[in-house]
Amino acid sequence: MERKQIWRGLALVAVLLSQPMLINPTPVSASTPGTLTHVKVPSPETDFPIRDVWVWTPPLGTLDRSTLPVVYMLHGWPGSPASMISGIVKPLAAAFAKGTKPFIAVFPDGNAITHADSEWADSYDKKAMIETWITKRVIPAVESDRIRSSKERAIVGFSMGGYGAAIIGLHHPELFTQIATLAGYFITDDLTDAFGSNTRIHTPSTYLKRANKFTWFLAEGKDDYTVPIRGQDVSWASKLKKVKAKYVIQSPSGGHSFTFVAAEIPLIAKWLVWPSV
């Protein structure tokens, strides 16, 4: 690994660890509305043959759970489902209470051992198989009450999770039609060699011709100077424009933190469009 790449990785970790809300040992507080369920889902890999998923269902009232759409929320690195839950669930619950159409939020664990910077990928040596785990194992486990159509399912990610949301969505247009990235990136930034020598299949622009099959929500804080994130939203938006993909782009104040994420989540919830079931 080149020295420049190593230093870039260390710089990113230092920035992320400086954010107090990034890692939270408790998934959710007792006062949070709705129901949080912990599910263990087998994975076809060496690193974590059993992986954790947290599923948050908002207060249902007279609603039937099976009628709700489902959104998969991917954390960054270093990060965890707990960090996403801590930053997202309360603003999401508040948005639903104000009339935004509710959905089920799913928080899978995308960490790995052999390739710590997992990039939410299937690693070349099969020791991490996170993309396959999500698309083949997690979706059926979460949606066992009724498998949703692609129009009833979205994928959202923060930082590394933003990259993961983009590439998993682009790899699987049969599963998703809406992709939202928060301080994500659209290049390969493989700090711990998950991709091996084949980076092309992990590069979002490889699949640019199918990007117009999705609607995109792009957000990057004006005060986010993290490498390689700085400027990525504008760059990707320019590519989306060329293929006539639908997108919105946000540049709010804020840095690489869950304060930024929490502020954007209600906007994403309103932006998502769901069919009537």
Asked if residue 25 belongs to a domain, the reply is no
Euclidean distance between CA atoms 104 and 21, whole angstroms: 22
Cβ atoms within 10 Å of 215's Cβ, excluding its own:
18
3-state class (DSSP) for residue 111: coil
Which of the 8 DSSP states describes residue 68?
A: S
Asked if residue 277 belongs to a domain, the reply is no
pLDDT class of 270 with cuts at 50, 70, 90 = very high
* pLDDT above 90 for 32: no
Please report the pLDDT score of residue 35 as a whole number. 94
104: left (phi over 0), alpha (psi -120 to 50) or beta: beta
Read off the pLDDT of each residue in 46-55 and give the average, rounded to a whole number.
96
Asked if residue 211 belongs to a domain, the reply is yes
> Whole-model pTM?
0.90
Please report the pLDDT score of residue 31 as a whole number. 59
Residue with tokens 């107090």, as numbered in its chain: 20
Q: Report pLDDT digits (tens) over 117-147.
A: 999 999 999 999 999 999 999 999 999 999 9
* pLDDT above 90 for 162: yes
* pLDDT above 70 for 173: yes
Q: What percent of the chain has pLDDT over 70?
A: 88
Please report the pLDDT score of residue 276 as a whole number. 86
Q: Report pLDDT digits (tens) over 193-202.
A: 999 999 999 9
Asked if residue 136 belongs to a domain, the reply is yes
Asked if residue 207 belongs to a domain, the reply is yes
* pLDDT above 80 for 19: no
Domain of residue 93 covers 3-20+34-271
Asked if residue 45 belongs to a domain, the reply is yes
Q: Give the pair of three-digit tokens for residue 87.
A: 């930053």
Asked if residue 180 belongs to a domain, the reply is yes
Close Cβ partners of 67 (under 8 Å, ≥ 6 residues apart)? 277
Q: What are phi and psi of 21, to 5 degrees?
A: -95, 5
Cβ atoms within 10 Å of 226's Cβ, excluding its own:
20
Which of the 8 DSSP states describes residue 129?
A: B
Q: Report pLDDT digits (tens) over 207-218.
A: 999 999 999 999
Q: Give the pair of three-digit tokens for residue 7.
A: 């230093």
Please report the pLDDT score of residue 18 as a whole number. 36
HSE-CB of 241 using CA atoms within 13 angstroms = 9
Per-state percent for the chain, helix, strand, coil, to nearest 5? 35, 20, 45
Count H helices and E strands in the chain, helices first.
7, 8
Read off the pLDDT of each residue in 164-182 and give the average, rounded to a whole number.
98
- Of 16-20, 178-182, 217-221, 224-228, the range with the lowest mean pLDDT is 16-20
Close Cβ partners of 244 (under 8 Å, ≥ 6 residues apart)? 212
Read off the pLDDT of each residue in 68-74 and give the average, rounded to a whole number.
98
Domain count, the chain: 1
Work out the mean pLDDT of the chain and round it to a whole number.
90
Q: State the Rg of the chain over Cα.
A: 17
Q: What are phi and psi of 151, to 5 degrees?
A: -80, -10
| Angle (deg, nearest 10), helices 81-97 and 258-271 | 50
Please report the pLDDT score of residue 15 as a whole number. 38
Kindly report the CATH number assigned to the domain that includes residue 122. 3.40.50.1820
Read off the pLDDT of each residue in 152-179 and give the average, rounded to a whole number.
98
Euclidean distance between CA atoms 185 and 169, whole angstroms: 14
Asked if residue 26 belongs to a domain, the reply is no
